[in-house]
Amino acid sequence: MLDDRVLEVLARLEAEDAHERAAGTPPEQRSLACGPEAGRLLFALVSGSKSSRVLEIGGSRGYSTIWLAAAARIGDGSVVSLELDPAKIDAWRFNLRDAGLEDNAVLVEGDALGTLSRLEERFTTVFLDAWKPDYELYFTAARTLVAPGAVVVADNVTSHDSLVAYSARRQADPTLSSSTIPVGNGLEVTVVLTP
C-alpha cells in the first residue's frame, strides 16, 4: 500500500534524482530510477495479484523496488531485487528500511547474469532495468523462471536506440503478447503465453 512513509521516501528519491541530474552527476553515479510514471504503472500491474513474486533485475537505490514491494505487500507478495554496485546496495537497504518495506523485499548482491543462473524460484512479474546491452540475456534467463501468464516489463525501450530490437523481438514472438507503452522512458510490457 502507498502509505505516507512510502510516499515520503519516493518523494525524497525523486528530489535526489532531480538534483543529481541538474548538477550533472555522471549517469553511472546516479540512481537511474524508472521515474514516477513508470513506478505507478508497475504498482498497478503488481498490486492486483495475490501472493505475487516479483523479480527485479537492477535494483539500484531501491526506487522501483519500493513501488514493487508496496504493491506486492497488498497481496502478501514479495520482491527479489538484484544489484551489483556496492554504493547502490547500501542505499537500497537504507531506502527500503526507511519506507518500511524491508520485510517485503530481498536484495541479492552480485552480477545479474550469474545470479539469475542460480535462482530457482518462480516469479509472476519481472522488471528489467539493468545494463541495456544485456537485455536479451536477462530476458532469456528470466523466462526460465516464469510460467505462462507472467509479465515481464523492460524499462528504457524508447529512450535507448539499442533496445528497439529488444521490443521488436518480443512483439514478433508468437509465444508472447507484447506492447510498447509510452510511459516514462518507454516500457515494453510482455505477457508470457506459453513456456
**What is the rounded average pLDDT of the residues 130-150?**
95
Pairing mode, if any, of strands 78-83 and 123-128?
unpaired
Question: Which domains, ranges and CATH numbers included, belong to the chain?
Answer: 4-192 (3.40.50.150)
Low-confidence winner among 6-15, 21-30, 62-71, 144-153 (lowest mean pLDDT) = 21-30
Q: Given this model, what pLDDT does residue 49 score?
A: 84
Residue 80 and residue 30: Cα distance in Å, rounded? 22
Q: Given this model, what pLDDT does residue 1 score?
A: 81
pTM summary value: 0.95
